[in-house]
Structure 1
Amino acid sequence: MSEKKKFALVTGGSRGIGKAICLQLAMDTEYKILINYKENASAAQETLNEIEKIGGSAEIIQFNVGDNKDVQNKLDQWHETNKDAIIEVIVNNAGITKDGLFMWMKPEDWNNVINTSLNGFFNVTNHLIQKLLVHKYGRIINMVSVSGLKGTPGQVNYSAAKGGIIAGTKALAQEIAKRNITVNAVAPGFIKTDMTGDLDEKELKKMIPMNRFGDAGEVAHLVSFLASKKSSYITGEVININGGIYS
């Protein structure tokens, strides 16, 4: 049997932490990177170009992680055209925020955040898991947040979504550990990205023992380690990367 081509899928891989993860995996591993995006095609293309510039290899796949049918259709089409391929690493990174006080929160702001983060984790991982179980090897890495661990006021929806993924990570890790598949979560604190661009960095830095925001590249190094064979005895863990803000 010919050796399968091995891929690492990063959802929401076109910008921010997702983009940094795509680049780091391309640098550190032999994987071909599958860059998922929902709407921003030009950002996804830019990530692809940067990966090729550093000598890596990548493809783009468009789907909305929150739409189960879309996820299934696009991944099935992809497998149809890549019959000799296996997605060995899944990085569930896609997520959105719709912040606001719970008292005033609209149902759509609750549902959209839960749908993208929590249901997105289910839709993508559930559809790919059977192939990993047959393959008897895999790495599932879920991007969560300090909000999912300690809760953040004004982010009840986001905290609930990320907290749900944390619990799911621990449960799934136990189900599939015998098959050599690890499931871990990475919980960033304040990281410099588009998503944190509107925050008052000067004020928030005072809360952080390291007195600075993190860099997306720092998060990407951790994800790259968890995606490698070096992390083979770590599973069901939530690893904080937050400059000491929650320790």
Structure 2
Amino acid sequence: MKEYQFEVCANSVESCLAAQTGGANRVELCAGIPEGGTTPSYGEIAMARKVLNTARLHVIIRPRGGDFLYSPLETKIMLEDIEIARHLGVDGVVFGCLTANGDIDTVAMKELMEASHGLSVTFHRAFDVCRNPDEALEQIIELGCERILTSGQQPTAEQGIPLLKKLHRQAAGRITLLAGCGVNEKNISRIAGETGIQEFHFSARENIPSGMKYKNESVSMGGTVHIDEYERNVTTARRVMATIHECSSSVARQDR
């Protein structure tokens, strides 16, 4: 029987706890979810490390939203954040760098990999906007990353099934593919069955209404970018369990 690993993209310590309660093997702690994830604060990482005892803690190292072409200054910031994460006792870090031509920035990556020695390293979804995924896969293996988080260069992992299947075959056990983006209890079985991939990344979040009784909804903290400030999108143990159960149940049915 296949053994699956489930990673939850957690946007807070609260979400980390829910992921652990729901049975996740690992969490990826991120701030700035609307931007695709940015490095969380010192305090957020420290508290997550204190409360997680069964789920492993990985932290995204990404100084800003936008592209993955980093300046020398931004690379130095990432190096500092890796040292902070190490100091706080994380199990792994998550990052990825590209050149202006859409290739893997092996120079920057080697520097970050050296700083991450002893930590598990995931190359994140910068992979999904690289120019040549086949070539990139080989370069990332050569760099020594443990896994690649990818949606198969499509908006969701379900849409990316054809490339995910191809990359899984190309990897041939040399690196782990972590299928992510849009993975949920409704499609995880299909993705697992059609690609052969055994690690999954999902958020399992739900909208939680604010406890505020007084609301001034005419003012947005984001200025012209309006975000509903009177609800929070957080991971729930219920959805984590449902997603894991669906994947595990599907495998059990296939093994009968």
For normalisation by structure 1, the TM-score amounts to 0.38
The structure whose Rg is larger is: 2
Normalised to the residue count of structure 2, the TM-score between the two structures is 0.37
Which of the two has greater helix per residue?
Answer: 1
